[in-house]
Amino acid sequence: MNELLFSKKYDVRKLQKNYIDQIYNLCIKNHLYYQYCPPYVTKKSIESDMMTLPDNVDIKDKYYVGYFKNEKLIAVLDLIDGYPKKDIVFIGFFMMDINVQKSGMGSVIVKELIDYLTTLEYKEVRLGWINGNPQAEHFWIKNGFCPIKEDRVVLAKRRIK
Please state the pTM of the whole predicted model.
0.93
pLDDT value at position 96? 95
Mean pLDDT across 117-140: 93
Asked whether 90 and 80 are in contact (CB, 8 A), the reply is yes
Under DSSP, the state recorded for 1 is -
Asked whether 64 and 20 are in contact (CB, 8 A), the reply is no
Backbone angles phi, psi at 154, to 5 degrees: -90, 120
Domain count, the chain: 1
> CATH number, domain at 137?
3.40.630.30
For residue 62, give its domain range. Answer: 3-159
Percent of the chain with pLDDT over 90: 84
Q: For the segment 77-121, what is each residue's pLDDT rounded down to a tens digit?
A: 999 999 999 999 999 999 999 998 888 899 999 999 999 999 998
Q: For the segment 49-86, what is each residue's pLDDT rounded down to a tens digit?
A: 999 999 999 999 999 999 999 999 999 999 999 999 99
pLDDT value at position 72? 96
pLDDT value at position 138? 93
Regarding predicted confidence, which is higher, 32 or 24?
24
| Cis peptide upstream of residue 39 (ω within 30 degrees of 0) | yes
As beta bridge partners, residue 73 has 68
